Structure 1
């Protein structure tokens, strides 16, 4: 086994193929393991190391970047999730692709990452209308039947809107908070942030529910997947204290979307 070295925090060589837009999982601000992941990704894109070759060992990266082994493993996991490297115990981390695979991955380290999801995608709206909640919608929205809501429907795309869609989206906004001047045919920021800006409020709580489902009929056609394909439905409910002010649902094809949540644990030293 040979390892390619020379990937370090102080590398001064110019990068021939500069990456303009990182995948959403690498587009956040530090912690430093993201800096390492970005650098490794850039080096792989530039052919150093090449496909089939190995990254430096964890110990070497820890020394070069002055990071903990845990942080280095987080960086490698990011590249693994993007389909660029493959890890094998006792062997090493091998480069298997010089480009991230076409799959949208949402990374959640904190509630602030909810906004990052929309920033890395584009929502093309297909309808925007005021509705009176029917019984099924009332259960979803935790409201009375007949309550008035603004309903926005559309298709969400990744960074490259010319490629296949990543989700069918439905957004419901309580009538009292539905005057949103920034609504348009294309949305690139979360609707809940529009509500906060327009009404001078702050969402106090977000509940999130993940459901497995089969994507069928019209939904399968819109998402360009086979009928009855596996999918994931994400429901987010936004609260102002105890009042629901917005609900979003997204139906994602399993083949184009993954969802990663990480938690920083503290150890009780008593």
Structure 2
């Protein structure tokens, strides 16, 4: 059992959430398994019920678990889809038929903003940006590649973290108190070139769904640019329209 850091640097509920998130991603708890109850978390980590409940609520909000009244809380999974009216974290796009979901950081670096990135994030060209490149897999098979870009001076701690073991979006919200407001997305149909085909393990020229997304905070400032490359044979898009 991992110990919590009571120094106050990170909220206790977020630390518990991160540990359970990692256990689910690593396959310790699989789809259909029951995870520790709030009372067990309270005893194991010496925290209040409110802290344990908050951690469980974060997992539920990520679509990872569902509470069954009078029975317990169980790991769930969703069919891989993208609702274009919402920004969904990777944990909400788990494969319905997979038993092991994993993610791997391919690369993290600091790079100068080119013309497109500067335009997307409304910064000057050559502004230092963090680029986080991560590969997502289901049942050990590549599912999609995600590139996240942030202004380095705004979220420098992102460069030092291992986001194969915790939720990036939850970290940004809890560590930097980023309050997201809305996002704009663009969808492209492209063909896999050599580097992309190697990472996604598809043939060169295979169809790929690319989604570019800019996320804005409550002050209408673009804080995140994400470019994601989905294998078309493993994903579909779902759009809900008001009529």
- Is the shorter-chain TM-score for this pair beyond 0.5, marking a shared fold? yes
TM-score under structure 2 normalisation?
0.58
Secondary structure at the counterpart of residue 262 of structure 1: coil
Inter-partner Cα distance in structure 1 for 2:172 and 2:64: 24
Match for 1:105 among 40, 62, 80? 80
The 1:225–1:216 alpha-carbon spacing in structure 2 relative to 1, beyond 3 Å, is same
Q: How many residues in Structure 1 have an aligned counterpart in Structure 2?
A: 168
Summarize the alignment of residues 259-270 of structure 1 with structure 2, pairs less than 5 Å apart. 259-263=237-241, 265=242
Structure 1 residue runs of 4+, over 6 Å off?
A: none
User: Whose radius of gyration is greater, 1 or 2?
Assistant: 1
The one of the two structures with greater contact order (alpha-carbon pairs below 8 A, sep at least 6) is: 2
RMSD of aligned C-alpha atoms?
3.2
Partner of 2:128: 148
Match for 1:21 among 19, 31, 54? 31
User: Deviation string for 1:153-196 (max 9, x for gaps)?
Assistant: 121112x2x2x20112111112212323882161452x232111
Deviation at 1:140, TM superposition (A): 4.2
Summarize the alignment of residues 31-110 of structure 1 with structure 2, pairs less than 5 Å apart. 105-108=80-83
Q: In 2, are the aligned partners of 1:106 and 1:117 still within 8 Å (CA)?
A: no
Deviation at 1:108, TM superposition (A): 2.4
Partner of 1:192: 169
Q: In 2, are the aligned partners of 1:233 and 1:250 still within 8 Å (CA)?
A: yes
Question: Is 1:231 matched with 2:208?
Answer: yes
Unaligned runs of 5+ in 1: 1-19, 31-77, 79-103
Inter-partner Cα distance in structure 1 for 2:204 and 2:84: 33
Partner of 1:117: 92
Q: In 2, are the aligned partners of 1:149 and 1:178 still within 8 Å (CA)?
A: no
